Amino acid sequence: MSGGDKLEFEIRRNPAPVSAADRAALLVDPGFGRVFTDHMVTIRYAEGKGWYDARVEARAPIPMDPASAVLHYAQEIFEGLKAYRTADGGVTLFRPEANADRFVASAERLAMPPLPPEAFLDSLHRLIEIDREWIPTGEDGSLYLRPFMFASEVFLGVRPAREYLYVLIAAPVGSYFSGGVKPVKVWISPDYTRAAPGGTGAAKCGGNYAASLAAQAEAIEHGCDQVVFLDAVERRFVDELGGMNVFFVYDDGTLVTPPLTGSILPGITRESVLTLAAEAGLTVQERSVSFADWQADAVSGRLREVFACGTAAVITPIGHVRFPDGEFPVGAGRPGRVTMELRQQLVDLQRGVTADPHGWVHRVF
């Protein structure tokens, strides 16, 4: 099979899929990232050959040589997006083209061959078509899609690999945080940073998340749900959470989020929130927010709401902040009006409940 933007997918159905009864039992409470569908997509790349051998096949372990390049030099990227079941039985995706474009940008930053967006989108359609019955029907349910790519060439040497494997797997999921939408507690990391200028902060690669795990464990030790990272240069300004962007809502109707300086992931939910907030009449600003100002404005009451956003959690209110020298609440200790209105707008758009003037919702069926 020759490479190129348009690939023909070979379909190899799982000979032993999960039974309908067992699947129904699993979908009652799938959690997040614990249950997986029957199939996966794989596409291979070789230098001089391009992308080839596109398949939908039974989900199975990936054979890997101990000298595979990804295990030594961490050339790996991924994406995350969801498929939603609509009231009329259809299926939608939310801004998958943006995920395809970010996958290309991440690949280029990690010196990897970009997968053509058309092939990326086609892989999503193929897997959803064959595993459609795995999409939960509950209010918070969706099918989480995880495309990823890694260096599969067998060699030891510091250079970009010449062979890669793209894989797409899917997991039926419920709410990201147990207990539904409620304010979370966050920990301001005093010692760790997520990414530095010139690094890979703007790419969606596993190394960024690995670097956040020690800080996340520290947050949990201090009774918090998530960690917040400050900038790597001055250690004063808020960057983002371990896996989500952050927003601040002020008493004058201003919505603020840190600017994309290269160390912050350009979240697709983040970009959507900026658009929806401006349309709702809020004054939207992308500017730096120091932790000192966060604390002072929360104590004075000028800062009314803070929330985090991302594909997995959509929008999650932040109700309490802890740091080595103390702690303080944000708002009234319950989800704020702006936070919840923006969240509901996004949820309704993603599920095709409301009109979509931006063309964000992609109807699969």
Catalytic residues: 204
In the chain the first and final C-alpha atoms are separated, in Å, by: 28
Q: Are 325 and 314 in contact (CB under 8 A)?
A: no
Alpha carbon distance 311, 95 (integer Å): 11
Tokens 């919840």 label which residue? 340
- Structure token digits, residue 230: 């400050």
Alpha carbon distance 210, 208 (integer Å): 6
Altogether, the residues listed in the chain come to a count of 365
Going along 312-354, which residue ranges are E strands?
Answer: 314-323, 326-329
> What is the DSSP-derived secondary structure letter of residue 237?
B
Longest pairwise C-alpha distance within the chain: 64
Alpha carbon distance 319, 336 (integer Å): 9
